[in-house]
């Protein structure tokens, strides 16, 4: 018998990772908004993501909806536990999402919606970063429900992960701009990428050092024997990605800094997975406990097996259609 909950845990993790990578550079561009030169450059940056942001955000719906479908218990515990963060994220995403159209629909309030694009992106990122920190720290569970208070998620560690995610998304955004723009804007993006890259490494280092000491099982996972040996692969891969980022930025490569940043995110994500497994809601709810009955998992898996490859194919096609550098005046507005 195949282990359906395990397959689904992998698929949900994939959806979350896809979201983080894809909407990460969208949100990163929002975060960088105030640092761009002028309105034209901001709109140019926005146009690089206008055709794809909606598809990118859909991975968040798959992450949430998928959790509801296949791990309803985890969904039912985590959502109330992170209540204010989820609400703040949703409100932030509203301002971010409508800005794509609204900035072109008004002259008088254009600055306001640009501000909303920045603020919305920033708030959504901070909320996601704090949610991540709160999850890693562990969620209090009482029976089949959340057992903690309204403010359990607000800790120094979750502030640290929030800052790390803001810097990380900003780096994704900056390297995306290196890939998608030319001349002045590209140079500016590269000048952002250097300090962001260094900052991100410092923050990842701080999070990595703090994590094993949050819970004894994390410490065992990372420094125990022989599990620590396997876990050590992750930091080694990370060094490899960092080297590519440094080299890509130094050689004025257009694509490599973005791919290297993606790799840094992927390896960080794998590192989180190492800490989490076999829990889905640390410290006490396992993948198996939270899983829906097999009839639910199988029914959706049949569709996912057919549809997810199709989604990846047409998403890739859409990126291919809009490939290349974006120039001022592109887009239909």
Count Cα atoms within 13 angstroms, Cβ side, for 100: 19
- What span, in angstroms and rounded, lies between the C-alpha atoms of 42 and 60? 25
SS3 101: helix
Report the residue number, 243 or 299, with the smaller CB distance to other proteins.
Answer: 299
CB of 264 to other proteins, least distance (A): 26
Q: Name the helix (H) or strand (E) containing 145.
A: strand 145-146
- Helical pair 53-70 and 72-81, crossing angle rounded to 10 deg: 110
* Closer by beta carbon to other proteins, 4 or else 167: 4
Pick 239 or 321: Cβ nearer other proteins: 321
In which element (H, E) is residue 297 found?
helix 294-321
Measured from the CB atom, the residue of 183 and 295 that comes closer to other proteins is 295
Query: Among residues 2, 139, 149, which one has the least CA distance to residue 73?
Result: 139
Cβ 177 to other proteins shortest distance, Å: 18
* Shorter beta-carbon distance to other proteins: residue 233 or 316: 316
CB of 134 to other proteins, least distance (A): 14
Q: How far apart are CA 157 and CA 138, in angstroms?
A: 12
Closer to other proteins at the Cβ: 246 or 322?
322
Least distance in Å: CB of 283 to other proteins? 19
How near is the Cβ of 127 to other proteins at its closest, in Å? 11
Instruction: In whole angstroms, give the CA distance from residue 71 to residue 287.
Output: 8
How near is the Cβ of 149 to other proteins at its closest, in Å? 9
CA distance 138 to 279: 10
Backbone angles phi, psi at 145, to 5 degrees: -145, 170
Q: For residue 302, how many other CB atoms are within 10 A of its CB?
A: 9
The residues that touch other proteins, with contacts defined as CB under 8 A, are 50-52, 54-55, 57-58, 60-62, 64-73, 75-80, 83-84, 86-87, 90-91, 93-95, 97-98, 100-102, 105-106, 109, 144-146, 150, 292-293, 295-296, 299-300, 303-304, 307-308, 311, 314-315, 318, 321-322, 331-332
Residue 24 exposure: Cα atoms within 13 Å on the Cβ side: 28
Sign of CA dihedral 15, 21, 26, 31: positive
Nearer to other proteins, 57 or 253 (CB): 57
The distance of closest approach from Cβ of residue 147 to other proteins in the complex, given in angstroms and rounded to an integer, is 8
């Amino acid at each position: 018998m195949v282990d359906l909950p395990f397959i689904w845990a992998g698929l949900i993790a994939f959806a979350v990772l896809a979201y983080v990578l894809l909407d990460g550079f969208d949100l990163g561009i929002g975060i960088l908004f105030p640092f761009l030169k002028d309105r034209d450059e901001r709109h140019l940056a926005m146009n690089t993501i206008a055709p794809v942001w909606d598809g990118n955000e859909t991975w968040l719906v798959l992450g949430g909806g998928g959790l509801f479908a296949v791990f309803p218990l985890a969904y039912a515990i985590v959502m109330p536990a992170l209540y204010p963060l989820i609400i703040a994220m949703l409100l932030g995403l509203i301002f971010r999402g409508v800005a794509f159209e609204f900035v072109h629909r008004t002259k008088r309030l254009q600055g306001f919606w640009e501000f909303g694009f920045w603020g919305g992106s920033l708030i959504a990122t901070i909320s996601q970063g704090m949610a991540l920190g709160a999850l890693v720290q562990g969620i209090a569970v009482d029976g089949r429900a959340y057992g903690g208070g309204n403010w359990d998620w607000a800790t120094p560690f979750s502030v640290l992960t929030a800052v790390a995610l803001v810097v990380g998304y900003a780096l994704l955004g900056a390297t995306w701009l290196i890939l998608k723009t030319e001349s002045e804007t590209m140079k500016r993006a590269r000048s952002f990428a250097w300090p962001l890259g260094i900052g991100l490494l410092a923050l990842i280092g701080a999070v990595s050092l703090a994590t094993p000491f949050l819970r004894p099982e994390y410490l065992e996972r990372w420094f125990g024997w022989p599990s620590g040996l396997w876990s050590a692969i992750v930091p080694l891969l990370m060094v490899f990605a960092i080297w590519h980022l440094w080299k890509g930025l130094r050689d004025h490569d257009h694509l490599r800094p973005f791919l290297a940043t993606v790799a840094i995110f992927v390896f960080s994500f794998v590192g989180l997975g190492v800490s989490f497994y076999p829990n889905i809601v640390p410290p006490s709810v396992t993948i198996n406990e939270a899983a829906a009955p097999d009839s639910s998992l199988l029914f959706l898996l049949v569709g996912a097996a057919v549809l997810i490859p199709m989604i990846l194919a047409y998403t890739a096609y859409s990126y291919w259609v809009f490939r290349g550098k974006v120039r001022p005046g592109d887009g239909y507005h």
